Amino acid sequence: MDKVVVGAAIVDDAGRLLAAQRAEPPELAGGWEFPGGKVDPGEDELEALVRECREELDVLIETGAQVGGDWPLANGYILRVWLAKIVEGEPEAKEHLALRWLAMDELYEVPWLPADLPIVRAVRLQLTEG
């Protein structure tokens, strides 16, 4: 069975994407990623994503279309990402160093983690074609 990590490509009404700066582990600290985390045993992937966003950002999200398929990560993990919007709360960096809303022309102003970079491109395509 694959070890699944879920991520949220949270987009606001202005079409901006939320990026989160990793605090840990040391080899990833400072890099930017999509909020999310591991799926717990017996947990549905979308339930896990909603839970992770509540824990990490203190927001309630509503998920939309999946972005691409399975994105490979280190150590046999795969990342699955969904478009999402915030339906309750304002995002707070509870487990990250910082959060930043990026307009479509600002997407590459932060140093994305290598695993997340191709997903940024896919999100942009999905949003501009959708």
Q: Cα separations (Å) of 57 from 13, 39, 75, 106?
A: 18, 17, 26, 21
Distance, in Å, from the CA atom of 101 to the CA atom of 112, rounded to the nearest integer, reads: 13
The pLDDT tens digits for 92-130 are 999 999 999 999 999 999 999 999 999 999 999 998 886
Domains and CATH numbers, the chain: 3-129 (3.90.79.10)
Tell me the pTM: 0.95
How many of the other CB atoms lie within 10 Å of CB of 122? 16
Please say if the pLDDT value at position 2 is more than 70. no
Distance, in Å, from the CA atom of 121 to the CA atom of 115, rounded to the nearest integer, reads: 12
| pLDDT at res. 130 | 64
